[in-house]
Chain A
Amino acid sequence: SSELTQDPAVSVALGQTVRITCQGDSLRSYYASWYQQKPGQAPVLVIYGKNNRPSGIPDRFSGSSSGNTASLTITGAQAEDEADYYCNSRDSSGNHLGFGTGTKVTVL
């Protein structure tokens, strides 16, 4: 399976920028996708592929990748961005998938 590591928690002041990282060997071969999950709700895809946003996702969300690390950046964080964020990727076989350990984002 794909082992992906994320920082457990980060905080950001309202309107400021926060970067969430995801590390794993599979990220040298595959892009990460990113999900936002609020309490009691299903996850929502926010970034996929090189840096693609599904329809309806604000452009303050962006993705990047370097080596074995993928990043999700929220530029100008809003109160409604407070949530858990998960990365996911295919593993080295390409057929199995895995999720990161998750990062809780607090907007101060």
Chain B
Amino acid sequence: DIQMTQSPSTLSASVGDRVTITCRASQSISSWLAWYQQKPGKAPKLLIYKASALESGVPSRFSGSGSGTEFTLIISSLQSDDLATYYCQQYNSFPYTFGQGTKLAIK
């Protein structure tokens, strides 16, 4: 199975900050990576697919990059509504696997 490792596990930032979350795969997954946002008590929501493609309706302050084994999710200017846990997911091969999550708190 492909292991996905996110860092950091928790992150505290202020409104307006640039936030970077990293996801590393245990083997190359090309660009077959998605990012999700999960707010407390809610279902996950797709933000980014194919490593850098922004899902329709997602604010442009979210962006993704990377290929192979290292990927990043960037929030260019943090908003209070971005309080959530963020997950990466590989879909290069079965079983699909997720990172352990990055919990983002607003200072």
**A and B interact physically:** no
State the A residues within 8 Å of B (CB).
none
